[in-house]
Structure 1
């Protein structure tokens, strides 16, 4: 999947179908000139339904679909025949999609399971035919009910990708390089900031054919929670990850300070993020000799206050241990 095909935010105007009108028909046959009322009911208008599809990873197929309309219900007919129901209109979305009211931005529903359905706009009920209204005092009613109009609503579909591990770090920290090495993903890699413009997903193959999913989130900068840079647009994708892997390069001016800035951005965006399991990977550690690494360990043990590991994606150092640590964190038994 190319970056241009990753779409995680779309706005759609949906309209359910109108209910069909009831019929005000009076029964007529060759030898029955004044039969009673026999007008049928109108059909129900079609619903607009959001449906989960586990085979979808993005909202790209909805990028150019701004209006979705369901079919109107058919009108009632003679001999109490009911009009046809309008066909429902389905909008298939990937798992992890949140449906919001565009006007209020309040969440309406969240699709988390394959095949899960939610009726976002109900079709109008069909009107009742005139045979419903006959009585001893009004034996030939010549009126029926019109159908109820369908609903129109503006919705926003917002995808929060479902991954086990979320990669968090500043731009150019080496997240895409790590993802390309431990998974089969092929993210764009270059020596400048904000190379990654959209989240990338990769499946890590572990021992005994076990797997887990890692998401590379575009780089966060200081002030991202307030909307600076582009990382803030994707902070919501980290909400679903059960484990956060912080990637900080070994040549950073102050590793502890970078970690604290990243933590603070997550805290300001959503304090619940800090409840997740965390592991810090010191990347590009192949640049450190044994003496520098020992000095850095002493400093990190004293100031960092979180588990860390030295890795190098280019030199393939510490990657097996990294996978082991992540697997343990993802599969630890609750206390």
Structure 2
């Protein structure tokens, strides 16, 4: 999970505005200070070693990636700018895309590891097919190609994180094991202008600031939820883009960046199979002096490709 994301300066304001995705960061997680929260269960003794649990989870994710490549589904993304009190600001933008997962070998890797990405094909904007008079600024729209969020739990990526056993959930989550994670390393925030995504659009990379929790079905070792945030406030400076009007402040503070990803199982027929699929992603990004936002991505209409190019629901 890379701690990074995109934000936008509000062109209608003399103040700097940046947007933040509401799933607060499988790429950039924000939160006032992160503490290892045990929810009263940290003292429980796990039925397995943490390394063994992570190994089984990694195996299930590899199986998920293999199965997911035979599935296409619809992603509906709602992007809503928000004010300082987190209330809606202006109208929401709704983007609908067809989504699939694809894995390709990583160039130069002798271990045969693959890079798994989510591929999107835009279908609709605000309920209709894209038109020439649509808002050309797509700064917050999901990227056509983006890393699969669960890839950080694969063996080749786990060395970039520290993991800690927390315990089991309570109530309806009693059968779910919880693991906290922390990104290893550090570095200064890196901000880049994204002229390809519209005026006043930037991306930010926050190395070493990701913290989060993974919920795992203890009977199947499948990941059912991932939450991520960043540690503390993050001060950053914008690059010196030609598009920025003179007199505007180039400093910002990322106050919050939270992401929550949910997964669920879906049954398929012909042949009979139950497959883990993404259900939703919620993102919240709050940036002092820039445009903050919420984003909700909901997935539906899962279809499976089988032999002969046939599509089965």
Give the structure with the larger strand fraction.
2
TM-score bracket, shorter-length normalisation: under 0.3
Report the structure number with the largest CA radius of gyration.
Answer: 1
Give the structure with the larger helix fraction.
1
Higher RCO (C-alpha under 8 Å, 6+ residues apart): 2
Per the normalisation by structure 1, the TM-score is 0.23
Per the normalisation by structure 2, the TM-score is 0.24
